[in-house]
Amino acid sequence: MSELEQLDFFTDQTLVADPYPYMEAMRSGCPVRREPHKNVMMVTGYDEALAVFGDSENFSSCSAVTGPFPGFPVPLEGRSDDEVSELIDKHRSELPFSDQVTVMDPPTHTAHRALLMGLITPKRLKLNEEFMWNHADRYLEPYLAAGGGDYIRGFAAPFTLAVIADLLGVPEEDRAEFATRMDHRQGGVGATGSGSMTHSPLEYLYEKFSGYIDERRREPRADALTEMAAATFPDGSTPEVMDVVRIAANLYTAGQETTVRLLSGALLMLAERPDLQQLLRQEPDRVSNFVEEMLRLESPVKGDFRLARKSITIGGVDIPAGTTVMVMNGAANRDPRQFEDPDTFDVARSNARRHIAFGRGVHTCPGAPLARAEARVSIERLLARTSEITISEEHHGPADARRFSYVPTFILRGLTELNLDVVPAESSE
């Protein structure tokens, strides 16, 4: 083992700034490999990641967001397949976030996910996209007028919040309050620091959406919240109010932060590459593939966890029942067996879209089409309305010595702030 692979991926701050050499070192040793600190099996290869994501029978998602922290409530190692499987079913509800769709397994997962998919159908998203163009312009206005500033607080965060509020049909009069209450700038799940998780934005969402759903079940209106309130499980049964509320809240908790990181990563790339800006201004059709390549190269979710129910072999490596596995989307997306010259950004990469930034299998990110549309729309508008976007040297230092800070979590990958200088286009249309 080299020095790099001995670092603790879950706590080492140097890996927050740049996790990729570590991922590469792990993968070139073996794409399925145990790390020595938390005893987690790290899956860094593309095919191996697909094998785990595709097997929800043998890999439980019960600890998908928490992994080894705090770990499973009872020891699982050394037990038989049947014992492990039984213990998982018995104790999974004691794990954090156990009521969220992300950590459910089929068949419970299948029913709850269907509720979520009902909220973000392609048809619904198409309607939502029309609002996106307006929101993009609305939030760009002050940002451009100020000549730039922190792109995350000045644009990406308020824009993504507004889009989700639209999609869920949050009433206009409540939107300002939502924006204030949901402005949790960082931290949360997977923090590498020692701070505790804050539940308040989630509790706020629960309270608001319980109210909306209750009210609309009593008095239906012609709005998205009423559709949500009337949604049924695939077997025709009516979900509890809280089931629906959790699904709505999931759009915020899983969908906002990640999209903000995608947007800021893309803008960092653009700001450092005037040639790329010019290319995409001239040929906006290329923005879609640019977004795919950014998802591949800087996957906003570095990875998440699975718990082996049974002893199983992945990529020729034995994984005993009870093992915590971390599937690293960010590493799989730089697997040279799948992507040629994987560390190089290539706006025209022909297979960029094969990335697994949104995961695969039954837990594939339901918000992928939403995130893609948000990225495409906002980047197209920003490029159309500027003639120049550059990194603020005052904040991030000169070109040969840039300083950026990344969110201190082992789950998410992305900037904490991105200060840009922008020159509005002359005819700002």
Partner 1 sequence: MKVVIDDDRCGGHGVCVGLCPDVFELTDDGYAEASTDEIPGEYEDAVREAIGACPEHAIKEL
Q: Which stretch binds partner 1 (CB under 8 A): 119-127, 247-255, 259-267, 382-390?
A: 119-127
Find the binding residues for partner 1 in span 294-323 (CB under 8 A).
none
Nearest to 44 by CA among 57, 56, 35, 36: 35
Amino acid letter, 67: G
Find the binding residues for partner 1 in span 36-95 (CB under 8 A).
50, 54
| Comparison of 25 and 116: residue with beta carbon closer to partner 1 | 116
| Comparison of 105 and 150: residue with beta carbon closer to partner 1 | 105
Q: Which stretch binds partner 1 (CB under 8 A): 117-125, 201-209, 277-285, 376-384?
A: 117-125
Q: Give the C-alpha separation, 356 to 369, whole Å.
A: 14
Dihedral angle sign, alpha carbons of residues 360, 362, 365, 368? positive
Tokens of 205: 């969402």
CB neighbours of 230 closer than 8 A, spacing ≥ 6?
216, 217, 220
Q: Which stretch binds partner 1 (CB under 8 A): 10-18, 326-334, 348-356, 411-419?
A: 348-356
Q: Which stretch binds partner 1 (CB under 8 A): 74-82, 300-308, 320-328, 352-360?
A: 352-360
Please give the C-alpha separations between residue 120 and each of 150, 251, 255, 421, in angstroms, as whole numbers. Answer: 30, 10, 12, 35
| Comparison of 138 and 354: residue with beta carbon closer to partner 1 | 354
Residue 361 interacts with partner 1 (CB under 8 A): yes or no: yes
Smallest distance, Å, CB 126 to partner 1? 5
Residues that contact partner 1, how many (by CB under 8 A)? 24
Q: Using an 8 Å Cβ cutoff, are 239 and 119 in contact? A: no
Residue 362 interacts with partner 1 (CB under 8 A): yes or no: yes
Indicate the angle between helix axes 157-168 and 368-384, nearest 10 degrees. 130
Residue 348 interacts with partner 1 (CB under 8 A): yes or no: no
Q: Give the chain's largest Cα–Cα span.
A: 69
Q: Using an 8 Å Cβ cutoff, are 4 and 22 in contact? A: yes
Q: Which stretch binds partner 1 (CB under 8 A): 217-225, 249-257, 351-359, 419-427?
A: 351-359
Residue 236 interacts with partner 1 (CB under 8 A): yes or no: no
**Binding region for partner 1 (CB under 8 A):** 50, 54, 117, 120-123, 125-126, 292, 351, 353-355, 358, 360-362, 364-366, 368-369, 372
